[in-house]
Amino acid sequence: MTSITNSEQEDNDELFEHFRFMASKGQEPLRVDKFLMNFIENATRNKIQQAAKDGHVWVNETVVKSNYKVKAGDEVKVLFEHPPHEHLLVPEDIPLEIVYEDDSLLVVDKPSGMVVHPGHGNYSGTLINALIFHFENLPTNSNERPGLVHRIDKDTSGLLVIAKTEAAMTHLAKQFFDKTSEREYIALVWGNVEDDEGTVVGNIGRNPKNRLQMHVFPEGEDGKEAVTHYKVLERLGYVTLVSCKLETGRTHQIRVHMKYIGHTLFNDERYGGDKILKGTTFTKYRQFVENAFKVLPRQALHAKTLGFVHPVTGEKMKFDSEVPVDMEACIDKWRNYTSSSS
């Protein structure tokens, strides 16, 4: 039996753990749920059967039920919505940048590179590990994640609100569900965005050709409703600085919507923004872009503004986070390049 495992964590909506196995030539026919139990550490049969029920088990690229008999030479894939190592939630003394705190909630400014919640390959160093060290008895959300009301990607920096009580969790989660919370992001995107402002509407779901990416389904038959309002802040030649306000909060929403309208985020590796998508063929320009990538080794996205109604006082609260040093340095490089080229 030979096996290959792949894993990837989605940081903003769901956790996924992806495994792929090749059945050896000597493999006797065996139910796929039993087959997978033999090779995935800590995975229960119930978890595998649930994955099959959800359409997340494939044999030779075809979705199968849990009673499918695996045969010699079959390629078996499974996608778990939560990792089978969920019990490995360990408090860690990780500093948090807290911009506001009271008895009901706190607002933190997450640095880029910090995963929000543990998953395969990221069992330590996450925001959740830090939260459960610094705060006791945090309420859990529907996915059993302490304190989390909403999420942002690992390499996105910026503001998150954390609930400290069950009542705050319920109240804040409803605001996000009802689209009454305020969330503004700053993004640097490839290309000169034609309109000064606009709205992108298009359902977002997992890309059927690449499960690690999200995809826009414009006809609305697949995926979940997603609406992004954008406004141009500064035009910098081959890139544009934009403000994006979310009506909905889908996985990779801004990253996917901006790519959909032809303006992939700068240095967004997952969606191709780590290539030169606009500009000249001059060697000097290529070197400039490579240097800009080094200054900002992540997608150019920052959760700058967060607004909501306090769950106890009813007060409207609004917080603002400065654009971090790495992103500001990249923007400044483009400003200098544009001014020297004009």
Q: Closest by alpha carbon to 256, among 307, 203, 302?
A: 203
CA angle 204, 205, 207 (to 5 degrees): 120
In tens, the pLDDT along 142-182 reads 777 899 999 999 999 999 999 999 999 999 999 999 999 99
In tens, the pLDDT along 111-154 reads 999 999 876 556 689 999 999 999 999 998 877 789 999 999 99
Q: Closest by alpha carbon to 244, among 308, 190, 291, 200?
A: 200
Q: Closest by alpha carbon to 268, among 258, 283, 280, 279?
A: 258
What is the structure's pLDDT at 4?
35
CA-to-CA distance for 286 and 289, rounded, in angstroms?
5
In CATH, what is the architecture of 17-80?
Answer: Roll (3.10)
Report the mean per-residue pLDDT for the chain: 89
List phi, psi (to 5°) of 113.
Answer: 95, -15
Beta-carbon neighbour count of residue 159 at 10 Å? 25
CA-to-CA distance for 339 and 264, rounded, in angstroms?
23
What is the structure's pLDDT at 212?
72
In CATH, what is the architecture of 98-341?
Answer: 2-Layer Sandwich (3.30)
- Pairing between β-strand 239-246 and β-strand 182-190 as defined by DSSP bridges: antiparallel
User: 76 near 21, Cβ under 8 Å?
Assistant: yes
What pTM was computed for the model? 0.78
What is the structure's pLDDT at 6?
33
102 catalytic, yes or no? no
In tens, the pLDDT along 34-88 reads 898 887 766 778 888 988 998 999 999 899 999 999 999 999 988 876 554 445 5
CA-to-CA distance for 169 and 127, rounded, in angstroms?
17
Calculate the alpha carbon distances from 101 to 104, 134, 164, 165, 270 in Å: 8, 12, 10, 12, 34
- Tell me 203's DSSP state: E
3-class SS at 321?
coil
| Residue 70 bridge partners (DSSP) | 30
What is the structure's pLDDT at 118?
77
Question: CATH 3.30.2350.10 occupies which residues in the chain?
Answer: 98-341
pLDDT at residue 11 greater than cutoff 70: no
At 161, list the tokens: 């609100």
User: 82 near 54, Cβ under 8 Å?
Assistant: no
Catalytic residue among 33, 153, 155, 274, which?
Answer: 153
CA-to-CA distance for 59 and 46, rounded, in angstroms?
19
Name the one residue in this structure whose structure tokens are 């106890």: 312
In tens, the pLDDT along 264-300 reads 999 999 999 999 999 999 999 999 999 999 999 999 9
Identify residue 292 by its one-letter amino acid code. A
Question: CATH 3.10.290.10 occupies which residues in the chain?
Answer: 17-80
Calculate the alpha carbon distances from 161 to 2, 92, 128, 151 in Å: 45, 19, 13, 9
